[in-house]
């Protein structure tokens, strides 16, 4: 489905590079199928040298050359990019935007042509091919377009399809989520140091405990509570630790954190 397509990235920063790296290492695309444009010449040189992808001097030229365009610039840079690519879309390429908080309707209005647009919210573990991305199709995007987007983003992790109305909640959970989990891991590490472990050993234990617990969940369909119950023996160590977390209101705090981030995403989207 993407074997014969040319994919263009407008913006070759962190996310653009993560996607290029993932697509090449998955074997789904060859380097000569990928084009990148960026205002930074140093980024273009780096991407060309590292991944042997083709670089294009400007966004309009890139738009004319490709079948799929991934807009991977900051939300505040979107208006410039939309202006650059508008007027170069006669061949109706598929447009993918990963800009956080920018609604499909704004992009479609800016483009002004019946181009299929899909909005994607990836997260930073995409950098190590362990991301999770939510996708939502715009007015002119059909099942074939969504299937292409799935193929592309599965190269850097998992993909779920949502209604665009849920994108703020996605941002609050999986977009911001790596930061919550990192904070928890840091707390585990400090706790290890407090109880006498070296920082290096505490880090190793905290990181792999988190990875392992997530893997237990990801590789089966057990409820987290069922897995937790398996390691919680009567009067044992784990239930004593859990009782402290419950008294401190950990579940409520996590829910409030996700709700606050979701609310903030809604506010930013209105600007």
Select 33 or 55, whichever has its Cβ closest to ligand NAP.
55
Q: Shortest Cβ distance from residue 70 to ligand NAP (Å)? A: 10
Cβ 111 vs Cβ 82: under 8 Å: yes
Residue reference for tokens 């899909």: 118
Cα separation values, 81 from 34, 50, 64, 78, Å: 18, 25, 14, 5
Nearest to 1 by CA among 149, 162, 159, 154: 149
Q: Which residue has its beta carbon closest to ligand NAP?
A: 13
Q: What is the DSSP letter of 121?
A: E
Residue reference for tokens 């040189």: 45
Select 100 or 202, whichever has its Cβ closest to ligand NAP.
100
Select 83 or 231, whichever has its Cβ closest to ligand NAP.
83
Residues 177, 123: Cα–Cα separation, whole Å: 8
Q: Shortest Cβ distance from residue 59 to ligand NAP (Å)? A: 5
Select 72 or 169, whichever has its Cβ closest to ligand NAP.
72
Cβ 118 vs Cβ 102: under 8 Å: no
Q: Shortest Cβ distance from residue 146 to ligand NAP (Å)? A: 18
Q: Shortest Cβ distance from residue 44 to ligand NAP (Å)? A: 9
Cα separation values, 234 from 239, 240, 243, 251, Å: 7, 10, 12, 22
Q: Shortest Cβ distance from residue 205 to ligand NAP (Å)? A: 26
Q: H or E stretch including 148? A: helix 143-153
Q: Footprint of ligand NAP on this chain (CB under 6 A)? A: 10-16, 37-40, 43, 59, 72-75, 77, 80-81, 98-100, 121-124, 175
Residues 172, 10: Cα–Cα separation, whole Å: 25
Select 164 or 204, whichever has its Cβ closest to ligand NAP.
164
Residues 11, 81: Cα–Cα separation, whole Å: 9
Q: What is the DSSP letter of 13?
A: S
Select 69 or 146, whichever has its Cβ closest to ligand NAP.
69
Q: Shortest Cβ distance from residue 150 to ligand NAP (Å)? A: 17
Select 108 or 192, whichever has its Cβ closest to ligand NAP.
108
Residues 200, 193: Cα–Cα separation, whole Å: 9
Joined together, the tokens standing for residue 62 give 């890139």
Q: Shortest Cβ distance from residue 109 to ligand NAP (Å)? A: 18
Cβ 22 vs Cβ 155: under 8 Å: yes
Joined together, the tokens standing for residue 188 give 């585990």
Select 40 or 199, whichever has its Cβ closest to ligand NAP.
40
Q: Shortest Cβ distance from residue 88 to ligand NAP (Å)? A: 14
């Amino acid at each position: 489905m993407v074997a014969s397509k040319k994919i263009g990235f407008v913006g070759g920063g962190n996310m653009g590079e993560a996607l290029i790296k993932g697509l090449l290492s998955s074997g789904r695309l060859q380097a000569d199928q990928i084009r990148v444009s960026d205002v930074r010449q140093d980024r273009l040189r780096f991407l060309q040298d590292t991944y042997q992808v083709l670089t294009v001097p400007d966004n309009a030229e890139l738009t004319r050359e490709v079948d799929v365009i991934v807009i991977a610039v900051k939300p505040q840079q979107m208006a410039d990019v939309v202006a650059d690519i508008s007027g170069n879309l006669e061949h109706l390429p598929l447009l993918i935007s990963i800009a956080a908080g920018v609604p499909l309707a704004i992009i479609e209005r800016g483009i002004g042509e019946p181009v299929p647009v899909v909005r994607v919210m990836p997260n930073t573990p995409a950098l190590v091919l362990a991301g999770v991305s939510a996708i939502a199709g715009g007015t002119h995007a059909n099942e074939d377009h969504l299937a292409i987007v799935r193929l592309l983003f599965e190269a850097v992790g998992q993909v779920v399809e949502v209604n665009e109305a849920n994108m703020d909640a996605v941002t609050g959970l999986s977009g911001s989520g790596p930061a919550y989990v990192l904070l928890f891991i840091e707390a585990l590490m400090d706790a290890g140091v407090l109880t006498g472990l070296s920082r290096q050993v505490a880090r190793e234990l905290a990181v792999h405990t988190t990875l392992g617990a997530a893997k237990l969940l990801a590789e089966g369909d057990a409820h987290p509570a069922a897995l937790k119950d398996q390691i919680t023996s009567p009067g044992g160590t784990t239930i004593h630790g859990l009782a402290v977390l419950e008294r401190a209101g950990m579940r409520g705090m996590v829910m409030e954190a996700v709700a606050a981030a979701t609310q903030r995403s809604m506010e930013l989207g209105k600007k």
